[in-house]
A = this chain, B = another copy of it.
Amino acid sequence: MPTAVTRRRKPKQARSREKVERILSAARSILVNEGPIAFNTNRVAKEAKVGVGSLYEYFPNKESIAQRLLEDIERSESDAILQRFAELTEASLHEAIVAIVETTFALYQKHSHLYQALRTVTGEARRREGIRPTETAIVQATQERLKPHQDTLQVRDLELTSLLIFYTVESLAFSSVTHQPSPWTDQQWIDEIVAVVYGYLGLPANQPST
């Protein structure tokens, strides 16, 4: 009876998952609200209402909690963008670009605190990374979106172009967030980033949409 088997294990798995979630939540909250210095295992365990020992049941060490947090951010970023792409199959290229920039921008607004805090915590591990798994998916999707227009666009290497668009949008969104206080509104930043991408693709300057 598969039901029986599942039933016996499910609760445990569910409780495990919940505990992991509690730990990650606590870690996130501490990093955002109290900064990377307050991010230590005892503090996280207490905030998660979990014994320190349990932390090590689910994560091999402190670093791995931070890495997991980073992965989660990147996955959520990637998911959001890919979903936006999916919604925009019918839209014009212009609309698609604007939408992607807006989505990326919003994500950085949301995550910037945590992202910056994580940078100072992940130290060693980040060096080996190189290309992040999530970025390949986005670049892939961008490539597919651009392919039909390849002839009308100013593109030499489709993959390289897609990659640069990704990096440009991501970096500029990040810069806009760190460049505080800024005399420019969010909308001005978004319009400008769109203009960069638009210009790069050799498209005529458009009236930026609201």
Contacts and interface: CB of A to CB of B under 8 A. Distances in A.
Contact of A124 (B35, B122, B168): B35
A199 interface: yes
A123 B35 contact: yes
Given A116-B127, A200-B200, A188 B160 contact: yes
A180 B130 contact: yes
A86 to B, nearest CB: 26
B192 A154 contact: no
A172 interface: yes
Interface residues of A, number: 44
A164 interface: yes
Nearest to A118: B120
A154 to B, nearest CB: 5
Interface of A: 35-37, 116, 119-124, 126-127, 130-131, 154, 156-157, 160-161, 163-164, 167-168, 171-172, 174-175, 178-181, 184, 188, 191-193, 195-196, 198-202, 205
18 contacts: A119-B119, A120-B123, A131-B179, A154-B205, A160-B188, A161-B192, A164-B192, A164-B193, A167-B171, A167-B172, A167-B175, A168-B171, A171-B174, A195-B200, A196-B199, A196-B200, A199-B200, A199-B201
